[in-house]
Amino acid sequence: MKVIKTDIDGVVIIEPTIFNDERGYFYESYSQREFAEKVCDTTFVQDNQSKSSYGVLRGLHYQKPPYCQSKLVRCIKGTVLDFAVDIRKGSPTFGKHVAVELTEDNHRQLFIPRGFAHGFVVLSKEATFQYKCDNFYNKESEAAIAWNDSTLAIDWRIPAEDIILSEKDKQNKPMADSDDLFDFTVNLY
């Protein structure tokens, strides 16, 4: 696997080694040993999957300590535009984001450490999205930032009128109004 650094320390793009032949393709989507050697030593404890249609935007979500999560995300069908937003107060990249197009064809994955909000929007007719988490989900620890927070300057690449949000995500507040952001010293893994 190839690990590509981004403009934000700790957030990396992973490109698997793909073996193609007349039958199709094969690749190792995850190896604990190789991930520990090339990215970080963490243990994923929960896998999640969602299916969404064009314009569905999920995010920008995170879990507060002690239930914060690192995530390894990928799109196994369709195309999504995926985002990691640094919400670590005091970080030199606080409020900055990384955007990566994840598709069923490029097989890329994005690793998002703890201390980041995460979200994605579906660019294809339909998408199936999978992610691994290094901590279990905890409902009381849920938190989120508004997808359209102007201070984040996120280009979701589709018209705002095409965005489809859950009722809960419609209530998310801008980052400046969040009192549960992370401290820069948060352990990323």
CATH of the domain at 19: 2.60.120.10
* Residue 147, pLDDT above cutoff 90: yes
Residues 98 and 90 sit within 8 Å (Cβ to Cβ): no
Q: Is residue 146 one of the residues assigned to a domain?
A: yes
Domain count, the chain: 1
pLDDT of residue 182: 82
Catalytic residue among 54, 61, 107, 137: 61
Q: Does any domain span residue 107? A: yes
Among 107, 131, 137, 189, the one annotated catalytic: 131
pLDDT exceeds 80 at position 86: yes
**Per-residue pLDDT, 188:** 73
Residue 176 falls within a domain, yes or no? yes
Residue 61 confidence class, pLDDT cut points 50, 70, 90: very high
- Computed over every residue of the chain, the mean pLDDT equals 95
User: Using one digit for the tens of pLDDT, what is the confidence trace for 87-138?
Assistant: 999 999 999 999 999 999 999 999 999 999 999 999 999 999 999 999 999 9
62 counts as catalytic = no
* 188 belongs to a structural domain: no
Within a domain: 42: yes
Residue 181: what pLDDT? Answer: 86
Residue 3, SS3 per DSSP: strand
Identify whether 44 is part of a domain: yes
Domain containing residue 26: 2-183
Residue 12, token pair as written in the block: 């990396």
What pTM value is reported for the model? Answer: 0.94
Is 131 a known active-site residue? yes
